[in-house]
Structure 1
Amino acid sequence: MLLAIWASGLTVSCQDVERAGNRGAAEKNGTGELRSDIEPLVRRFGDLSGSPQVRWMSGTYGDPRNPGPSMYWIDAVITLDPVKVAQLTGAYAPVAAQAAPDVVKGLRPHLPPGPFKTSEALDTAFEKQEGWGVTAYLDTGANILVLVAQGT
Protein backbone atom coordinates (compact mmCIF):
# COMPACT_ATOMS: atom_id res chain seq x y z
CA MET A 1 0.00 0.00 0.00
CA LEU A 2 2.80 2.36 0.92
CA LEU A 3 4.48 1.60 -2.39
CA ALA A 4 1.25 2.48 -4.28
CA ILE A 5 1.00 5.85 -2.51
CA TRP A 6 4.65 6.61 -3.27
CA ALA A 7 4.21 5.67 -6.95
CA SER A 8 1.08 7.83 -7.20
CA GLY A 9 2.94 10.82 -5.73
CA LEU A 10 5.82 10.31 -8.14
CA THR A 11 3.43 10.29 -11.12
CA VAL A 12 1.76 13.54 -10.01
CA SER A 13 5.17 15.18 -9.46
CA CYS A 14 6.34 14.20 -12.93
CA GLN A 15 3.14 15.56 -14.48
CA ASP A 16 3.64 18.90 -12.66
CA VAL A 17 7.22 19.17 -13.95
CA GLU A 18 6.08 18.29 -17.46
CA ARG A 19 3.36 20.95 -17.40
CA ALA A 20 5.80 23.52 -16.07
CA GLY A 21 8.26 22.65 -18.85
CA ASN A 22 5.57 23.14 -21.50
CA ARG A 23 4.65 26.66 -20.42
CA GLY A 24 7.40 28.29 -22.45
CA ALA A 25 8.53 31.87 -21.93
CA ALA A 26 6.89 34.04 -19.31
CA GLU A 27 4.03 36.11 -20.63
CA LYS A 28 4.24 39.90 -20.77
CA ASN A 29 1.47 41.53 -18.75
CA GLY A 30 0.64 45.21 -18.65
CA THR A 31 -2.13 47.78 -18.65
CA GLY A 32 -2.29 47.96 -22.44
CA GLU A 33 -1.58 51.70 -22.31
CA LEU A 34 0.33 52.98 -25.33
CA ARG A 35 2.58 55.73 -24.03
CA SER A 36 4.32 58.60 -25.82
CA ASP A 37 6.24 60.30 -22.98
CA ILE A 38 9.99 60.11 -23.42
CA GLU A 39 11.34 60.88 -19.93
CA PRO A 40 10.96 57.35 -18.47
CA LEU A 41 12.86 55.96 -21.47
CA VAL A 42 15.65 58.54 -21.21
CA ARG A 43 16.03 57.73 -17.50
CA ARG A 44 16.57 54.04 -18.26
CA PHE A 45 18.23 53.96 -21.66
CA GLY A 46 20.18 57.20 -22.11
CA ASP A 47 20.08 60.07 -24.54
CA LEU A 48 17.03 59.87 -26.79
CA SER A 49 16.55 63.62 -26.92
CA GLY A 50 15.41 65.02 -30.21
CA SER A 51 13.29 61.94 -30.89
CA PRO A 52 10.16 63.32 -32.56
CA GLN A 53 8.00 60.29 -31.83
CA VAL A 54 8.09 57.65 -29.12
CA ARG A 55 5.61 54.82 -28.63
CA TRP A 56 6.08 52.33 -25.83
CA MET A 57 4.38 49.89 -23.50
CA SER A 58 5.48 48.27 -20.25
CA GLY A 59 4.50 45.83 -17.54
CA THR A 60 5.67 42.73 -15.72
CA TYR A 61 6.30 39.12 -16.68
CA GLY A 62 4.25 36.22 -15.40
CA ASP A 63 1.00 35.96 -13.55
CA PRO A 64 0.18 39.14 -11.58
CA ARG A 65 -1.73 37.03 -9.03
CA ASN A 66 1.52 35.37 -7.89
CA PRO A 67 3.31 37.29 -5.14
CA GLY A 68 7.03 37.90 -5.18
CA PRO A 69 9.63 39.96 -6.96
CA SER A 70 8.72 41.08 -10.43
CA MET A 71 10.69 41.23 -13.65
CA TYR A 72 9.66 44.27 -15.67
CA TRP A 73 9.63 44.77 -19.45
CA ILE A 74 9.54 47.76 -21.78
CA ASP A 75 9.01 47.60 -25.54
CA ALA A 76 9.62 50.89 -27.35
CA VAL A 77 9.53 52.17 -30.94
CA ILE A 78 11.48 55.42 -31.23
CA THR A 79 11.80 57.62 -34.31
CA LEU A 80 15.29 59.11 -34.47
CA ASP A 81 16.90 61.93 -36.37
CA PRO A 82 18.75 60.53 -39.42
CA VAL A 83 22.00 61.98 -38.04
CA LYS A 84 21.52 59.97 -34.81
CA VAL A 85 20.86 56.80 -36.83
CA ALA A 86 24.09 57.38 -38.77
CA GLN A 87 26.00 57.92 -35.50
CA LEU A 88 24.63 54.71 -33.99
CA THR A 89 25.38 52.75 -37.17
CA GLY A 90 28.94 54.09 -37.33
CA ALA A 91 29.69 53.62 -33.65
CA TYR A 92 28.13 50.19 -33.06
CA ALA A 93 28.33 48.44 -36.46
CA PRO A 94 24.96 46.65 -36.36
CA VAL A 95 24.41 43.78 -38.77
CA ALA A 96 21.26 42.18 -40.17
CA ALA A 97 19.04 40.84 -37.38
CA GLN A 98 17.99 37.21 -37.55
CA ALA A 99 14.38 38.14 -36.71
CA ALA A 100 12.16 41.18 -36.24
CA PRO A 101 11.80 42.55 -32.71
CA ASP A 102 9.36 40.57 -30.56
CA VAL A 103 7.22 43.33 -29.08
CA VAL A 104 3.78 43.15 -27.46
CA LYS A 105 0.74 43.04 -29.70
CA GLY A 106 -0.34 46.62 -28.95
CA LEU A 107 2.97 47.98 -30.25
CA ARG A 108 3.23 45.86 -33.41
CA PRO A 109 1.28 48.32 -35.62
CA HIS A 110 4.01 50.90 -34.88
CA LEU A 111 6.90 48.69 -36.01
CA PRO A 112 8.48 49.62 -39.31
CA PRO A 113 8.76 46.89 -41.95
CA GLY A 114 12.53 46.48 -41.53
CA PRO A 115 14.99 45.12 -42.32
CA PHE A 116 16.42 45.47 -38.83
CA LYS A 117 20.03 45.65 -37.73
CA THR A 118 21.41 44.79 -34.30
CA SER A 119 24.67 44.13 -32.45
CA GLU A 120 25.83 43.43 -28.91
CA ALA A 121 27.57 46.81 -28.89
CA LEU A 122 24.31 48.54 -29.84
CA ASP A 123 22.48 46.66 -27.07
CA THR A 124 25.12 47.69 -24.53
CA ALA A 125 24.88 51.33 -25.62
CA PHE A 126 21.32 51.45 -24.24
CA GLU A 127 21.92 49.48 -21.03
CA LYS A 128 22.31 52.62 -18.93
CA GLN A 129 20.35 51.60 -15.83
CA GLU A 130 21.77 48.77 -13.73
CA GLY A 131 19.58 45.70 -13.70
CA TRP A 132 18.20 46.24 -17.21
CA GLY A 133 19.07 44.20 -20.29
CA VAL A 134 18.29 45.61 -23.73
CA THR A 135 18.08 44.27 -27.25
CA ALA A 136 18.24 47.20 -29.66
CA TYR A 137 17.15 47.07 -33.31
CA LEU A 138 17.68 49.74 -35.95
CA ASP A 139 15.64 50.16 -39.10
CA THR A 140 18.01 52.54 -40.88
CA GLY A 141 15.62 53.11 -43.79
CA ALA A 142 12.82 54.30 -41.49
CA ASN A 143 15.13 55.97 -38.90
CA ILE A 144 13.56 53.91 -36.15
CA LEU A 145 15.11 52.35 -33.06
CA VAL A 146 13.25 49.51 -31.35
CA LEU A 147 14.15 48.62 -27.78
CA VAL A 148 13.07 45.36 -26.14
CA ALA A 149 14.13 45.55 -22.50
CA GLN A 150 13.81 43.58 -19.27
CA GLY A 151 14.83 44.60 -15.80
CA THR A 152 14.26 44.50 -12.08
Structure 2
Amino acid sequence: MTNMETNPGSAEMKVAKTGDGKIRNELDPIVKRFPMLKNAKSIQWTSGVMGDPAMPGPSLYWIDAVIRPDAGLLEKISQLEGLAHAQPPGDTHPAIQRLIPEGRYQTSPELDGLFTHGTWLCHAYFEPSQNLVLLLAKGQ
Protein backbone atom coordinates (compact mmCIF):
# COMPACT_ATOMS: atom_id res chain seq x y z
CA MET A 1 0.00 0.00 0.00
CA THR A 2 1.29 3.48 -0.81
CA ASN A 3 0.69 6.86 0.79
CA MET A 4 -1.00 8.32 -2.29
CA GLU A 5 -4.51 9.52 -2.85
CA THR A 6 -5.99 9.94 -6.30
CA ASN A 7 -8.61 12.43 -7.32
CA PRO A 8 -11.36 10.43 -9.09
CA GLY A 9 -11.60 11.39 -12.75
CA SER A 10 -8.23 13.13 -12.69
CA ALA A 11 -4.64 12.15 -13.31
CA GLU A 12 -3.58 14.33 -10.36
CA MET A 13 -2.11 12.50 -7.38
CA LYS A 14 -1.57 13.89 -3.92
CA VAL A 15 1.43 12.40 -2.16
CA ALA A 16 1.22 12.20 1.63
CA LYS A 17 3.83 13.58 4.01
CA THR A 18 5.49 10.88 6.09
CA GLY A 19 7.65 11.52 9.14
CA ASP A 20 7.86 10.97 12.87
CA GLY A 21 5.93 14.14 13.77
CA LYS A 22 8.46 15.10 16.42
CA ILE A 23 8.51 18.87 17.01
CA ARG A 24 12.05 20.21 16.85
CA ASN A 25 13.41 23.57 17.99
CA GLU A 26 17.05 23.45 16.91
CA LEU A 27 18.01 26.13 14.41
CA ASP A 28 21.04 24.61 12.62
CA PRO A 29 19.18 22.18 10.31
CA ILE A 30 16.77 24.95 9.30
CA VAL A 31 19.39 27.69 8.88
CA LYS A 32 21.45 25.39 6.60
CA ARG A 33 18.47 25.27 4.24
CA PHE A 34 17.03 28.73 4.88
CA PRO A 35 19.83 31.16 5.82
CA MET A 36 17.39 34.07 6.09
CA LEU A 37 16.17 32.47 9.35
CA LYS A 38 19.54 32.61 11.14
CA ASN A 39 18.29 35.28 13.58
CA ALA A 40 14.74 33.97 14.08
CA LYS A 41 13.38 34.37 17.61
CA SER A 42 11.99 30.83 17.54
CA ILE A 43 11.29 28.00 15.14
CA GLN A 44 9.19 24.92 15.77
CA TRP A 45 9.36 22.40 12.96
CA THR A 46 8.94 18.83 11.83
CA SER A 47 10.04 17.10 8.65
CA GLY A 48 10.02 13.92 6.62
CA VAL A 49 9.73 12.62 3.08
CA MET A 50 6.91 12.77 0.57
CA GLY A 51 5.27 9.43 -0.12
CA ASP A 52 6.53 6.02 0.84
CA PRO A 53 10.13 6.13 2.13
CA ALA A 54 10.54 2.46 1.15
CA MET A 55 10.14 3.29 -2.55
CA PRO A 56 13.41 3.36 -4.52
CA GLY A 57 14.78 6.52 -6.07
CA PRO A 58 15.54 10.03 -4.89
CA SER A 59 13.43 11.39 -2.07
CA LEU A 60 11.57 14.66 -1.93
CA TYR A 61 11.79 16.06 1.60
CA TRP A 62 9.37 18.39 3.35
CA ILE A 63 9.61 20.75 6.30
CA ASP A 64 6.65 22.42 8.02
CA ALA A 65 7.55 25.16 10.49
CA VAL A 66 6.05 27.83 12.71
CA ILE A 67 8.48 30.75 12.88
CA ARG A 68 8.78 33.90 14.97
CA PRO A 69 11.01 36.00 12.67
CA ASP A 70 13.56 38.55 13.83
CA ALA A 71 12.91 42.29 13.34
CA GLY A 72 14.95 42.46 10.13
CA LEU A 73 12.96 39.71 8.43
CA LEU A 74 9.69 41.20 9.68
CA GLU A 75 10.72 44.49 8.06
CA LYS A 76 11.32 42.73 4.73
CA ILE A 77 7.93 41.03 4.97
CA SER A 78 6.17 44.31 5.78
CA GLN A 79 7.63 45.88 2.63
CA LEU A 80 6.21 43.21 0.34
CA GLU A 81 3.39 44.30 -1.92
CA GLY A 82 0.54 42.10 -2.98
CA LEU A 83 0.02 40.15 0.23
CA ALA A 84 -3.47 38.66 0.08
CA HIS A 85 -5.54 36.96 2.75
CA ALA A 86 -5.41 33.17 2.60
CA GLN A 87 -5.94 30.33 4.99
CA PRO A 88 -3.02 27.93 5.42
CA PRO A 89 -3.59 24.70 3.49
CA GLY A 90 -5.02 21.62 5.13
CA ASP A 91 -2.02 19.45 4.28
CA THR A 92 0.14 20.96 7.02
CA HIS A 93 1.53 18.12 9.16
CA PRO A 94 -0.79 17.52 12.16
CA ALA A 95 2.06 18.13 14.65
CA ILE A 96 2.51 21.65 13.24
CA GLN A 97 -1.21 22.18 12.60
CA ARG A 98 -1.75 22.10 16.38
CA LEU A 99 0.74 24.98 16.79
CA ILE A 100 -0.86 27.32 14.25
CA PRO A 101 -2.85 30.02 16.03
CA GLU A 102 -6.07 31.40 14.63
CA GLY A 103 -5.55 34.56 12.65
CA ARG A 104 -5.79 36.40 9.36
CA TYR A 105 -2.95 34.92 7.35
CA GLN A 106 -1.52 36.54 4.25
CA THR A 107 0.52 35.11 1.40
CA SER A 108 1.91 36.05 -2.00
CA PRO A 109 4.41 34.75 -4.54
CA GLU A 110 6.82 37.41 -3.25
CA LEU A 111 6.50 36.09 0.31
CA ASP A 112 7.11 32.55 -0.96
CA GLY A 113 10.16 33.85 -2.83
CA LEU A 114 11.57 35.44 0.30
CA PHE A 115 11.98 31.97 1.82
CA THR A 116 12.65 29.84 -1.28
CA HIS A 117 16.35 28.98 -1.35
CA GLY A 118 18.51 26.52 -3.27
CA THR A 119 16.54 23.38 -4.07
CA TRP A 120 13.77 24.23 -1.58
CA LEU A 121 10.43 25.51 -2.85
CA CYS A 122 8.45 27.30 -0.15
CA HIS A 123 4.93 28.45 0.55
CA ALA A 124 4.77 30.97 3.38
CA TYR A 125 1.83 32.39 5.32
CA PHE A 126 2.27 35.49 7.48
CA GLU A 127 0.04 36.44 10.42
CA PRO A 128 0.83 40.14 11.04
CA SER A 129 -0.91 40.61 14.40
CA GLN A 130 1.21 37.81 15.89
CA ASN A 131 4.39 38.32 13.82
CA LEU A 132 4.27 34.65 12.88
CA VAL A 133 5.18 32.80 9.68
CA LEU A 134 3.97 29.35 8.74
CA LEU A 135 6.49 27.87 6.31
CA LEU A 136 5.75 24.82 4.17
CA ALA A 137 8.82 23.72 2.21
CA LYS A 138 9.67 20.87 -0.16
CA GLY A 139 13.06 20.11 -1.60
CA GLN A 140 16.14 17.91 -1.71
TM-score (norm 2): 0.82
Q: Is the 8 A contact 1:77 1:110 kept in 2?
A: yes
Amino acid at match of 1:76: A
| Aligned pair partner of 1:136 in 124, 127, 130 | 124
The number of residues matched between the two structures is 132
Amino acid at match of 1:137: Y
Correspondence 1:109 to 2:75? no
Give the helix-richer structure, 1 or 2: 1
CA offset at residue 81 of structure 1? Answer: 3.9
Query: SS state of the match for residue 125, structure 1?
Result: helix
**Cα distance change of structure 1 residues 95 and 32 upon mapping to structure 2, 3 Å threshold:** same
| Aligned pair partner of 2:47 in 20, 37, 58 | 58
TM-score (norm 1): 0.76
Structure 1 outlier segments of 4+, above 3 Å: 19-24, 81-84
Correspondence 1:47 to 2:36? yes
Query: SS state of the match for residue 85, structure 1?
Result: helix
Q: Could you tell me how far apart the structure 2 residues matched to 1:85 and 1:45 are?
A: 15
Q: Could you tell me how far apart the structure 2 residues matched to 1:124 and 1:105 are?
A: 25
* Gapped regions of structure 2 (runs ≥ 5): none
* Aligned twin of 1:146: 134
Give the strand-richer structure, 1 or 2: 2
Instruction: Say which one has the larger Rg.
Output: 1
**Cα distance change of structure 1 residues 21 and 95 upon mapping to structure 2, 3 Å threshold:** closer
What is the CA RMSD across the aligned residues, in angstroms?
2.1
Q: Is the 8 A contact 2:106 2:125 kept in 1?
A: yes
Q: Could you tell me how far apart the structure 2 residues matched to 1:94 and 1:61 are?
A: 28
Q: Could you tell me how far apart the structure 1 residues matched to 2:107 and 2:7 are?
A: 30
Which residues in structure 2 correspond to 1:64-79 (within 5 Å)?
64-79=53-68
